Each structure stands twice: as C-alpha cells, then as structure tokens.
C-alpha cells in the first residue's frame, strides 16, 4: 500500500505565482477560509501518481496487488481514523506492507530518511 495525503491547509498562499491557490472553503466552524497545499501535498500526489503510472506500465514485470490510498485530513489527524472507521480494510484487503511518504523541511535538499512507525524528526538522512 502506498499512502499519500491530499488535504489542503487553511492558509492563504501569498506567493503571487500564477498557479497559487485561490480556493476557499468552510472550516469546521463554518467560516470561509483560504486553503492551499502548503505542506508539500502537491509533491506527495505527484510522486503517488508517478508510482501508479510506473507500476501500471510495468505490470507484467511484477505480481501482487498495489493499493494506492489518498488520505484526507492528514494534518488534523482525523483522516486515517475516518478511513478505518469507514471500513478501509474490510472493504479492501489489508496490505502486507504500507509506505507513507511526507516531505520534511529539516532535511537537506536531496536527502531522504526511512523509518518504521511514527515519524519523529530529527532523523539522520541517508548519504
């Protein structure tokens, strides 16, 4: 299973770029707030989609089931619990392995970290 997150954060993007988010939505209190993918979720989705494309293009070279999960509400910690309560693993087979990705601004550019369990920076990056 490859899990990515797809939620937006209640922040206004002030980059001035042509592709900057101009989206607004209602928060839990019912107030209209701006939202943007300010935590790198666009990066997460691009990697998730790219993995799906590569795996599909090469499906004759591997066997098994690839489960791609887009998790909402990761930043508020409610998305995973809601997905489990909705029957994620009773409606779909429980995976043997799960990979969750996240970007981390404390690591140098071009470095990555692998950890089991809950991610708790700072971690030592691979060289």
| pLDDT tens profile 28-76 | 899 999 998 776 777 888 889 999 999 999 999 999 999 999 888 877 7
Report the C-alpha gap between 94 and 67 in whole angstroms: 9
In this structure, what token pair is assigned to residue 112?
Answer: 């990555």
Q: What is the mean pLDDT of residues 5-14?
A: 86
Report the C-alpha gap between 17 and 40 in whole angstroms: 16
| pLDDT tens profile 69-127 | 988 887 777 888 899 999 999 999 899 988 887 777 777 788 777 777 766 555 554 44
In this structure, what token pair is assigned to residue 41?
Answer: 């979720």
pLDDT at 124: 52
Decide: helix, strand or coil at residue 82. helix
Does the predicted TM-score (pTM) go above 0.85? no
Report the C-alpha gap between 52 and 48 in whole angstroms: 6
- DSSP states along 94-120: PPS--EE----TTSPTT-----SSS--
32 phi, psi to nearest 5 deg = -75, 125
């Amino acid at each position: 299973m490859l899990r990515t997150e797809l939620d937006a954060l209640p922040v206004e993007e002030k980059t001035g770029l042509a592709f900057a988010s101009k989206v607004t939505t209602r928060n839990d209190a019912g107030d209209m707030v701006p939202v943007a993918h300010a935590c790198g979720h666009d990066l997460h989705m691009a990697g998730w989609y790219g993995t799906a494309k590569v795996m599909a293009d090469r499906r004759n070279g591997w066997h098994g089931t690839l489960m791609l999960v887009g998790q909402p509400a990761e930043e508020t910690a409610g998305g995973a619990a809601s997905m489990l309560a909705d029957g994620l693993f009773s409606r779909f087979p429980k995976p043997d392995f799960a990979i969750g990705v996240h970007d981390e601004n404390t690591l140098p550019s071009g470095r990555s970290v692998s950890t089991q369990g809950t991610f708790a920076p700072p971690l030592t990056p691979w060289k």
